[in-house]
């Protein structure tokens, strides 16, 4: 499928989604529609084992909702719908935060499984919506405390704090910080390492963890058991045990 407001490329089982509305990569109806379609397609595609989400240019990953597109806010898929689809994806998603990640941009980063950020001291991350008299509407109120704890999340949201890269790293909002020139290289290296992991087992872990966090530990354990029974009969499991006995690296195919 061809896209206008995002770009999608796939190489070596890694698919990169680039928000393509420079300089700020603000999220409009087009990005919501195209991002939603891309995630559905990549979820089903066997050529994708890991997804990277980033933004065009060096200024912004995304500054969130495009206020000039407010007339279309109730059209197409809602931001919550799109972001929840990413949150529940059974393939690892890495946010490569190349610049500002503010408002909906921060909320987009929050639904990714991993967050890597540039060390550019002009780049900030946060949910400053209260400065406008509104609240984070695409999941930030729920996901930020799950990541940081309630008091840190409240401090960030209520005071509209924008954290610099090292500040975000210190409180666990991002997982790693890299020099701007090395950010995508390091993100890709991490993604490629993930592609070597057994795809079915990776999906099982992501699915079980997502269900457990959303619906509670008992529901999560039920999902884990279902996956365990399925994976035990898979070719990947046979390959894993065979490779172990033969003292070689396994080659997993997601079968």
Same domain, 178 and 75: yes
Give the span between the Cα atoms of 136 and 138, in whole angstroms.
Answer: 6
Give the range of the structural domain holding residue 54, as residue numbers without chain letter.
6-195
Per residue in 3-42, pLDDT tens?
Answer: 999 999 999 999 999 999 999 999 999 999 999 999 999 9
- What 200-203 contacts at long range (C-beta under 8 Å, 24+ apart), as own/partner pairs, is 200/227, 200/230, 200/231, 200/234, 200/236, 200/252, 200/254, 200/255, 201/231, 201/236, 202/49, 202/90, 202/91, 202/92, 203/90, 203/91, 203/227
Same domain, 114 and 143: yes
Domain for residue 57, yes or no? yes
Same domain, 110 and 224: no
Any idea which residues carry the catalytic annotation? 107, 129
Residue 33: closest CA among 74, 71, 69, 82: 82
Domain for residue 142, yes or no? yes
Whole-prediction pTM: 0.96
Domain for residue 255, yes or no? no
**Percent of the chain predicted with pLDDT > 70:** 100
Looking at the predicted structure, is the pLDDT value of residue 190 above 90? yes
pLDDT band at 2 (very low <50, low <70, confident <90, very high): confident
Same domain, 113 and 234: no
What is the count of structural domains for the chain? 2
Per residue in 195-251, pLDDT tens?
Answer: 999 999 999 999 999 999 999 999 999 999 999 999 999 999 999 999 999 999 999
As a whole number, the mean pLDDT across the chain is: 96
Per residue in 67-91, pLDDT tens?
Answer: 999 999 999 999 999 999 999 999 9
């Amino acid at each position: 499928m061809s896209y206008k407001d995002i770009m999608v490329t796939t190489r070596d089982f890694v698919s990169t989604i680039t928000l393509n509305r420079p300089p700020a990569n603000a999220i409009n109806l087009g990005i919501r529609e195209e991002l939603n379609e891309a995630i559905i397609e990549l979820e089903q595609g066997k050529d994708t084992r890991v997804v990277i989400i980033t933004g065009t240019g060096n200024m912004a990953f995304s500054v969130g909702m495009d206020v000039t597109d407010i007339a279309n806010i109730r059209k197409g898929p809602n931001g919550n719908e799109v972001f929840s689809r990413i949150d529940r994806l059974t393939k690892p998603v890495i946010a490569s935060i190349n610049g500002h990640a503010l408002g909906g941009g921060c909320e987009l980063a929050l639904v990714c499984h991993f967050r890597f950020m540039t060390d550019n001291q002009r780049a900030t991350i946060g949910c400053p919506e209260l400065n406008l008299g509104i609240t984070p509407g695409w999941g930030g109120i729920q996901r930020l405390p799950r990541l940081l704890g309630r008091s840190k999340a409240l401090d960030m949201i209520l005071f509209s704090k924008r954290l610099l890269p090292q500040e975000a790293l210190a409180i666990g909002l991002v997982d790693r910080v890299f020099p701007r020139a090395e950010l995508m290289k390091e993100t890709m290296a991490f993604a490629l390492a993930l592609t070597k992991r057994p795809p079915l087992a990776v999906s099982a872990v992501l699915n079980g963890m997502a269900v457990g966090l959303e619906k509670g530990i008992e529901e999560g354990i039920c999902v884990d058991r279902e996956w365990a029974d399925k994976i035990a009969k898979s070719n990947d499991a046979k390959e894993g045990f065979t490779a172990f006995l033969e003292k070689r690296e396994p080659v997993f195919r997601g079968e």
